[in-house]
Amino acid sequence: MLLNTLCHLQSIPKKYDQKQNIRFSQFVNALSIVSNDAAILDNSVQQIKDKFYLRQQTLQFHNHELLVMKVLAQDLENYLNRVRTIQDIFSREILSLKQQFEDKQIVFFDGTLKWKISGVQQKMCMYIQNRVLSSLNLFYLFLIVR
């Protein structure tokens, strides 16, 4: 718009004296400088807008990636929980099968049954400890009665 005004002013015939011509020329030069500065500012504003738009698009892309990563992390956590549950079930099943196998080892093919006491070592230790304690109790009781 300023350029159109400037062109229009330059096309007007000059009927003025020398002093007015100089002022008019200075005015036209100043107007030309302002017009150039405005064009430069417009270009700068457009570049800033373009950069802003690009950064905004990048931010939206990263936000989308972040959401996808959160969903994937949640899916992975759910999967790992299912795997842990399955591992627990299999562990219990293995222990059950192991117990069944041990139970079947006490039966011979000729029909006889072998008695099996599980945890014999622990039971023996507990028996010995209880026996020692009851012996000590009897000893102390004997000493008190005397």
Which amino acid, 76?
L
Q: With a threshold of 0.85, does the pTM exceed it?
A: no
Which amino acid, 14?
K
Residue 113's pLDDT band, with cuts at 50, 70 and 90, is low
Domain ranges of the chain: 2-115, 117-146
Tens-place pLDDT, residues 71-104: 999 999 999 999 999 999 999 999 988 888 776 6
136 vs 96: CA distance, rounded Å: 41
End-to-end, the C-alpha distance of the chain in Å comes to: 128
> Which residue bears the tokens 């062109």?
7
Residue 111's pLDDT band, with cuts at 50, 70 and 90, is low
77 vs 94: CA distance, rounded Å: 25
Residue 19's pLDDT band, with cuts at 50, 70 and 90, is confident
**pLDDT at residue number 18:** 77
**pLDDT at residue number 92:** 93
Residue with the bigger pLDDT between 142 and 90: it is 90
**pLDDT at residue number 49:** 96
Tens-place pLDDT, residues 25-75: 888 888 888 888 999 999 999 999 999 999 999 999 999 999 999 999 999
